[in-house]
Structure 1
Amino acid sequence: MTATKNRVVRAVALCCLLILTACSATYRNHGYVPPEEDLENLVVGVDSRATVDDVIGAPSASGMLSDGDYYYVRSRIRTYGMYRPEVVERQVLAISFNDDDTIANIERFSLADGQVVPLARRVTDSSVVSGGFLRQLLGNIGNINPEGAFGS
């Protein structure tokens, strides 16, 4: 009887341990922001876009045009159990350029600098008016022209 009791106690302890470890937070890191030491090698107004590409590399995201500004983004996301993933850290490095492709400004932004942007969802109404598949199928029976099916 004591052997069975010991097995049950061990099984319960193992289940409790698994439940506790499943509730620990996991973190995911996305993106890249160059370190401050690499940015110290860049001089505003002197270095060009090509120099930025050589020193810290081209970003994965740039401005709207091919000659747009450079944006380096890094995010850290925490997932805790069954809850929705939460962004706990975000850094954005923006390097803007003048018309002659020299560096105009280097700025750093964090999650605290961000603003919530409400997204508007605009949906185009379909031409289908509250009819199911069967109604659409049967509604087309009268619109078939047999003359067009066999050719003229």
Structure 2
Amino acid sequence: MAGLVLVGVVGACSPIVRHHGFVPPETEVAALEVGVTTKDEVISLFGVPAAERALQNNTIYYAASTFERLGPFAPNEVERQILAVAFDADDRLRNVSRYTLADGRVVALDRRVTDDGIADVSFLSQLFGSFGRIDAGTLLGQEP
């Protein structure tokens, strides 16, 4: 019985590892040629990037992270890789950079956030605002 409890405790304490994203392997990135490879070729080789900041600096990013979660604690990011592929004005490869968690560099990826259409309206404002639109006949089950 004590062995079963020990196995359960040890099993509950083992980390849960999750991988998110994709960064192409170094061998495939080495095949890219500066000044020759186009943005469309990079996307067809590696797939759709994690983020594209074409309006700001004509760079696409591939990102991958590994998270560990131990028991009830919040997940901890243990590994991060970001591949930044920069292009010139003609969409030809200009530079390839790799960043890791150890670099400590913040790379702000694009975020696509959908607007909910409710601007500065609290729950109470919505609740009290609906009182004037209630029809007493509808509440009592009478048809108009």
TM-score (norm 1): 0.66
Instruction: Indicate whether 1:125 and 2:111 are aligned.
Output: no
Query: Of residues 22, 32, 46 in structure 2, which corresponds to 1:57?
Result: 46
Aligned partner of 2:30: which letter?
E
* Matched-pair contact (CA < 8 Å) for 2:86–2:96: yes
**Distance in 1 of aligned mates of 2:130 and 2:60:** 56
Who is 1:108 aligned against? Answer: 98
Kindly, what percent of the aligned residue pairs are identical?
A: 31
Match of 1:7 in 2: none
Q: Which of 16, 36, 47 is 2:26 aligned to?
A: 36
| In 2, Cα distance between equivalents of 1:95 and 1:39 | 10
Distance 2:23 2:47 in 1: 11
The reply on whether 1:99 has 2:89 as its aligned counterpart is yes
- Shift, 1:35, TM fit: 1.1
1:19 is paired with a residue of what secondary structure?
helix
After superposition, what is the alpha-carbon deviation per residue over 1:123-147, rounded to whole angstroms, capped at 9, x for unaligned?
A: 953277x6795xx389638x98xxx
Larger radius of gyration: 1
Unmatched 5+ stretches in structure 2: 109-117, 136-144
The answer to whether the aligner puts 1:26 opposite 2:16 as a matched pair is yes
**Deviation sequence 1:88-123 (CA, Å, 0-9, x none):** 111000101111111011011111333498xxxxx9
Q: Report the AA paired with residue 121 of structure 2.
A: S
For residues 116 and 51 of structure 1, the distance between their equivalents in structure 2, rounded to whole angstroms, comes to: 23
The answer on whether the counterparts of 2:61 and 2:83 sit within 8 Å (CA) in structure 1 is yes
Question: 1:140 corresponds to which residue?
Answer: 132
CA contact (8 A) 1:72 1:92 kept: yes
Change over 3 Å in CA distance of 1:12–1:60 after alignment to 2: same
Evaluate the alpha carbon distance shift between residue 116 and residue 51 of structure 1 in structure 2; reply closer, same or farther with a 3 A threshold: closer
Match of 1:5 in 2: none
What's the RMSD between the two structures over aligned residues?
3.6
User: Aligned pairs, how many?
Assistant: 126
Structure of greater relative contact order (alpha carbons < 8 Å, 6+ residues apart) = 2
Change (3 A) 1:26 1:127: closer
Tell whether 2:76 aligns with 1:86. Answer: yes
| Superposition TM-score, scaled by structure 2 size | 0.69
CA pair 99-23 structure 1, distance change in 2 beyond 3 A: same
Residues 1-22 of structure 1: per-residue CA shift (max 9 Å, x gap): xxxxxxxxxx232022111111
Q: 1:104 to 1:20 in 2, by over 3 A?
A: same
